[in-house]
Amino acid sequence: MEDKSTNEKVGIFIIVFLLSLIVIIIILYLLGIFNRRPNEANIIVDDAVMFKYSKKKWVTASPNSYSNYNWDKFKIYSNNTYIGTKSIFTTDGKWYVFEKNREAVNVPGDKLYLGGKIKTTHKSFNQTNVNTTDWTYIHKVLDHYNIPRDVQNDYTYAFKVNYDFDNDNKDEVMYIVSNLFSDHDVSSSYSFIFVNDNGNNKVIYGKIYGEGANLSGCYAYLYGIIEVEGTKGSQIITKCSHYSVGNNDEYGLYQFNNNKYQLLLYSK
């Protein structure tokens, strides 16, 4: 009886040992995969583009490389709100989000996925309507581009965002203004994003369209703000959205450098 009991204990010990060994091997394998990943930051914007930061350089990832990130963990944001850290998977040109049990997660609105070995921090911001005083600065910029006042005042979008974009510990004011997608014909259309810093206006994005472009132009707005470890200050992500679903939207990545907002990458 004692021999049988001893044999059972030895058998159980061997089974537990083997199972533990298998778990350790799996963990080491997964860690090996992660450690073989390039030292980079990965920023996925909508289903449209992946911006990458590696070796102090910004690049736009090739869609052919997207599958390399299948089932990687990313921090998921929807409309400037954190959803959680979840797995992602791409197929048919779209990104899908999953829980640990592979249950699909619906991510509505403006989507931003942050991953990679280099830490990327999402920065929250509040967008509010402009007031009468704000229009003093808006008119100054649009006047400079010879946009008639009647066209300026016939706007469809006019917002502002207070944030320290240039990393000087003081908030600047970003203005987002456009008259695109109006419900009536306009003589010309415009879309601008600029930052006012103590009365100095710095244009990030500006485009003027001729007559008839009300529904064919694209409306540019602030999509997200991030900070990538190893870079100076914040990066600004913009989206230029078309009225028609069939047109490709455009995405820009900017950073304040040498007293101006430098375009790092642009994708459309």
- Our count of domains for the chain comes to 3
Average pLDDT over residues 130-134: 95
For residues 205 and 221, membership in a common domain is answered with yes
Does one domain contain both 261 and 182? Answer: yes
- The reply to whether 96 and 159 lie within a common domain is no
Q: Is residue 18 over pLDDT 70?
A: no
Three-state secondary structure call for residue 246: coil
- Token pair 């642009």 is found at 266
Query: Which of 78, 97, 118 is the last residue before a domain boundary?
Result: 118
How large is the average pLDDT for residues 31-39? 60
Same domain, 189 and 262: yes
pLDDT at 164 over 90: yes
CA dist 68 and 137 (Å) reads: 46
What does the block give as tokens for 73? 């963990």
Whether residue 223 sits in one domain with residue 140: yes
Q: Where does the pLDDT of residue 10 fall: very low under 50, low under 70, confident under 90, or very high at 90 and above?
A: low
Q: How confident is the model at residue 6 (pLDDT cuts 50, 70, 90)?
A: low
E-strand spans in the chain? 40-45, 49-54, 57-60, 73-78, 81-91, 94-98, 104-105, 111-116, 120-123, 127-129, 157-163, 172-178, 189-197, 200-209, 218-228, 235-242, 250-257, 260-267
Same domain, 95 and 172: no
Range of the domain at 76: 40-118
User: Which residues make beta-bridge pairs with 250?
Assistant: 240
End-of-domain residue from the set 88, 118, 148: 118
17 and 109 in a single domain? The answer is: no
Please say if the pLDDT value at position 43 is more than 90: yes
Distances (CA, A) of 127 to 43, 119, 124, 249: 22, 25, 10, 21
Q: Are residues 57 and 28 in the same domain?
A: no
68 and 7 fall within a common domain: no
